[in-house]
Amino acid sequence: MKPPIHPGNRSISRIVSCLFLILICIPAGYSQENKEMWRKGEARETEQGISLLGKPLLKPALNTEALQSLTGKYNIALENFRSDPGNPEAHIWLGRRLAYLGDYTKAIRVFSDGIYFFPSDARFYRHRGHRYITIRKLDFALEDFEKAAKLIEGKKDKIEPDGAPNAAGIPVSTLHSNIWYHLGLTQYLLEDFERAFRSYERCYKESDNNDKKVSSGYWLYLIAKRLGKEKYCVDLLSKMEKDMKLIENFAYHEMLMFYKSGLTPEKYGLPVDEIMKDPTRAYGLGIWYFLQGEVGQVKALEIFNKIIELPTWASFGYIAAEAEIAHLK
């Protein structure tokens, strides 16, 4: 239980907490020992969590250009936080920038501190829940997204700015849609398909652009298929068109068009070699085989095992493949 804070001591508590945050958030690159490593883009690998298969999840290696860009943006977020530590927006961006650098556990600590000071702000639960998914603490993620969903009930939705803007520079998601999307994903990974179906239905119904429709529709289709809702699947796919105007969710759309065709990957002309380099589409292909019944499950498992050889362990396609393997064991 959180200890009570006397009103007169709240400012002191916030200052102490913010000083703690500043200390934990200074990148390793600021130390003399690691300065040269960061200059060369060789971030020290640190364990961020344990995979669903029991393997350590190490901080992703970034190339020089990406490291410099992300570190620069992080430094701006840190300076904004130092200048205005009582601002929840500055608090959130500090955590988000840490996560983009691969410091997921530090990001979670920042969001946790934000929850302490801003317990009614659903954004902190939404972002912490996302990073709990990343480090495979799915039960914690579920709790955060359920809390976030309760906090947004009856409140007006708002655009959620992107940390890594798309080519058009237009955000395509909102706070509410992101909460329902990630809640549904967590439930899917935990194989709670009935609840995942309801979460993604809510997400899909609130989708006001094609990008949100194809991203939520993709998972909704897979869940409905697993639940044996064949007519629902047909109706859903009928709403997905080849010429839908999209800004960023092309991978989900590509897989939906493949599912809609009713053809095999070979007859459809799916570029399998190219797809296997992308965990999102690779999982979409693997789960297609899986849903064909026993005859396809050997092929599906082969694809899932190839996905977890890729370096992008934080992607949802990778995590979903990992979950499939864990459930099959």
The closest alpha carbon to 276, from 250, 325, 312, 231, belongs to 312
198 Cβ neighbours under 8 A, 6+ residues apart: none
Q: Are 320 and 310 in contact (CB under 8 A)?
A: no
> E strands, the chain, where?
47-50, 56-58
Provide the pLDDT for residue 234: 98
Q: How confident is the model at residue 35 (pLDDT cuts 50, 70, 90)?
A: very low
Handedness of CA 2, 144, 278, 285 (dihedral sign): positive
Q: Are 141 and 186 in contact (CB under 8 A)?
A: yes
Provide the pLDDT for residue 165: 82
Q: Are 318 and 55 in contact (CB under 8 A)?
A: no
Helix (H, G, I), strand (E, B) or coil at 171: coil
More confident residue, 25 or 139: 139
The model's pTM: 0.87
Q: How many CA atoms lie within 13 A of 18 on its CB side?
A: 21
Helix (H, G, I), strand (E, B) or coil at 49: strand
Provide the pLDDT for residue 295: 86
Q: What percent of the chain has pLDDT over 90?
A: 81
Provide the pLDDT for residue 329: 79
Angle at 181 between CA 180 and CA 184, to 5 degrees: 80
Question: What is the maximal distance between C-alpha atoms in the chain?
Answer: 71
Structure tokens at 287: 């789960």
Q: How confident is the model at residue 15 (pLDDT cuts 50, 70, 90)?
A: very low
pLDDT at 214 over 80: yes
Span 48-75, mean pLDDT? 96
Provide the pLDDT for residue 164: 82
- Length, in residues, of the chain: 329
Span 205-234, mean pLDDT? 97
pLDDT at 130 over 60: yes
The closest alpha carbon to 132, from 72, 190, 65, 93, belongs to 190
Q: What percent of the chain has pLDDT over 70?
A: 86
The closest alpha carbon to 48, from 4, 106, 1, belongs to 106
Structure tokens at 3: 């200890």
Provide the pLDDT for residue 294: 87
Provide the pLDDT for residue 21: 52
Mean pLDDT of the chain: 89
Q: How confident is the model at residue 18 (pLDDT cuts 50, 70, 90)?
A: low
pLDDT digits (tens, 9 = 90+) for 276-299: 999 999 999 999 999 998 889 999
**Coarse DSSP helix, strand, coil percentages of the chain, rounded to the nearest 5 percent:** 65, 5, 30
CB-count burial class (<10 Å; 0-12, 13-18, 19+) for 227:
middle
Q: CA–CA separation, 288 vs 113, rounded Å? A: 41
pLDDT digits (tens, 9 = 90+) for 141-165: 999 999 999 999 999 999 999 888 8
Q: How confident is the model at residue 201 (pLDDT cuts 50, 70, 90)?
A: very high
